[in-house]
Amino acid sequence: MLKIEGLISGYGSKKVLNDVSLELRTGEIASIIGHNGAGKSTLFKSIIGLTEKFAGQIELCGRNITKISPSQSRRQGISFVPQGRSTFSGLTILENLEVSGDISATRIARRDDIKSVIKLIPELANSLDKKASTLSGGQRQLLGLAMGMVSKPQLLLLDEPTLGLAPGLAERILGTVKEICGKSGVSAFIIEHRVRQVLAISESTYVLARGSIIFHGPSTDLSHDSNLLAKVYL
């Protein structure tokens, strides 16, 4: 459903990604790992239209989206949950979900979309009137995930969804990602520094280094082979 071929992109005249090609199937969860500065976040920003494209092509469900803008990316069915705090602190959970929904839908339809997301992430159900500023780190990450899902995307891009969380809570967040993708059928790309945990929930993995993909294969190949993981990542 997502296909990238020969992508060279960056900022201004600076090239960050170098001849990147990858593919994501419908309903698949794929992980992207690599050291800081490898180009992981630039890849996501290129998909949603926040970088300069020097060469290559990006397709979503057969549509060429190489030159889309960030606002158009939402209408094309892409939802991007950025690294760090992606919620609006002064708004309640319900208000955060309302402003993240499909603005072209009717009020009743948006309300139904919120109900559907709450069913996927029931931990938020009893806190809809709480302001985001009062939530714990884990609750905020769950809210950010819910905000990403409420527009009913075809593709979910998650940039470090467990950043700053304790190990147990991080594992729970990633488990929630796997569960909601399984129930909704949405495809997901996840950038994550917790390598072992993200390998456990993803079907395939891409390793980025200095703007290029140096490995692609089933996540189980890396999770079951420490020598291979060390070779391609460390």
Q: What is the pLDDT of residue 3?
A: 97
Residues 6 or more apart whose Cβ sits within 8 Å of residue 192: 31, 32, 33, 158, 160, 161, 162, 174, 198
Q: Single out the residue of 159, 157, 143 nearest to residue 186, CA to CA.
A: 157
Whether the CB-CB separation of 2 and 155 falls below 8 Å is answered with yes
Question: How many separate domains does the chain show?
Answer: 1
- The torsion region of residue 211 among left (phi > 0), alpha (psi -120 to 50) and beta comes to left
CA distance readout (Å), 157 to 109, 193, 229: 24, 15, 23
Whether the CB-CB separation of 198 and 171 falls below 8 Å is answered with no
Residue-wise DSSP of 25-86: -TT-EEEEE--TTSSHHHHHHHHTT-SEEEEEEEEETTEE-TT--HHHHHHTTEEEE-SS--
Q: What is the pLDDT of residue 194?
A: 92
Q: How confident is the model at residue 56 (pLDDT cuts 50, 70, 90)?
A: very high
Per this entry, what is the length of the chain? Answer: 234
pLDDT tens-digit readout, 59-87:
999 999 999 999 899 889 999 998 866 78
pTM above 0.85, yes or no: yes
Q: What is the pLDDT of residue 103?
A: 72
Mean pLDDT of 213-223: 92
Q: What is the pLDDT of residue 85?
A: 61
- The torsion region of residue 130 among left (phi > 0), alpha (psi -120 to 50) and beta comes to beta
On the question of pLDDT at 232 being above 80, the answer is no
- Sheet with strand 212-218: strands edge to edge: 78-81, 155-159, 187-191, 29-33, 204-209, 212-218
Q: What is the pLDDT of residue 49?
A: 97
Q: What is the pLDDT of residue 57?
A: 97
Mean pLDDT of 216-226: 90
Q: What is the pLDDT of residue 169?
A: 86
Q: How confident is the model at residue 233 (pLDDT cuts 50, 70, 90)?
A: low
In terms of DSSP bridges, do strands 78-81 and 155-159 run parallel, antiparallel, or are they unpaired? parallel
Mean pLDDT of 159-163: 92
Q: How many CB atoms lie within 10 A of CB 123?
A: 14
Q: What is the pLDDT of residue 16?
A: 98
On the question of pLDDT at 177 being above 80, the answer is yes
Find the CATH number of the domain harbouring 224: 3.40.50.300
Tokens representing residue 168 in the block:
């147990």
CA distance readout (Å), 41 to 46, 191, 211: 9, 8, 11
pLDDT tens-digit readout, 92-128:
999 999 999 877 777 888 889 999 999 888 889 989 9
What residues make up the domain containing 145? 2-232
Q: How confident is the model at residue 234 (pLDDT cuts 50, 70, 90)?
A: low
